[in-house]
Structure 1
């Protein structure tokens, strides 16, 4: 884990770095406009990990119509992976969601993303469903949930 790692709310000025991490992390990245939309609608659920004044990871969440939290995207710059940054981002967002009265959080993850699946399972997320053809290439995603206790 990075000693000088700082997790904070994302700012508009972070979006270029966030988008570059997204593009380098996923085969089907969200358009940059999606990040701006979530920053406007759910600023408290959009966090970045900063190391030496550079954004090295982010997590973006929202609240669904049923009041549950939703992790939209989580990624860490490739050269910073394996250092616990994704875990710290996820735990930080879960804490903010709990403080805002959210009791359950869900996410979708590629059935082929072993690293992400291992992280989520280690933090108490359970597979509760399968979304077939979730990604543009026709691959599937697991739906995972976690109960947030106070």
Structure 2
């Protein structure tokens, strides 16, 4: 397995992976995803045999705060530590940053707890009011 920064040439494969993992309602088309990734400070893929099997992106100021977004691993490759490796690659270079995320998907809270995340009672949220098509 290779963990590396996402590249422009990966966008279609990332879009396919995220769509298969239930993120289609958040992606829009490939161009929209490309803009999301371009606006993110970090985007990392896991690749096995030249196939992208995992993805994570992060938004951060690089100094104090960060947001983990869109963690996905292809169903056939789950349970092998790929998600853990991706998140670690995203957050490990920056121990001084407080990382936050939304853990609303089934199993997400348990997964992130294993990586040192804890539930917070101080976060607030203003949900989006426009659906991406």
Structure number with higher strand proportion: 1
Instruction: Give TM class, smaller chain.
Output: 0.7 to 0.9
Please say if 1:74 is aligned against 2:66. Answer: no
CA contact (8 A) 1:68 1:105 kept: yes
1:24 pairs, out of 6, 20, 23, with 20
Identify the residue that residue 108 of structure 1 maps to in structure 2: 102
Identify the residue that residue 38 of structure 2 maps to in structure 1: 40
Greater alpha carbon shift after TM alignment, 23-32 vs 127-136: 127-136
**Structure with more relative contact order (C-alpha pairs < 8 Å, separation 6 or more):** 2
Could you say if the C-alpha distance between residues 133 and 78 of structure 1 is closer, same or farther in structure 2, counting changes exceeding 3 Å? farther
CA contact (8 A) 1:38 1:60 kept: no
Identify the residue that residue 11 of structure 1 maps to in structure 2: 7
Unmatched 5+ stretches in structure 2:
none
1:119 pairs, out of 102, 111, 122, with 111
What's the TM-score, normalizing by structure 1?
0.72
Please say if 1:128 is aligned against 2:128. Answer: no
Matches within 5 A, 1:78-97: 78-97=75-94
What's the TM-score, normalizing by structure 2?
0.80
Unmatched 5+ stretches in structure 1:
137-150
Number of corresponding residues: 126
Give me the whole-angstrom Cα distance separating, in 1, the residues matched to 2:78 and 2:128: 23
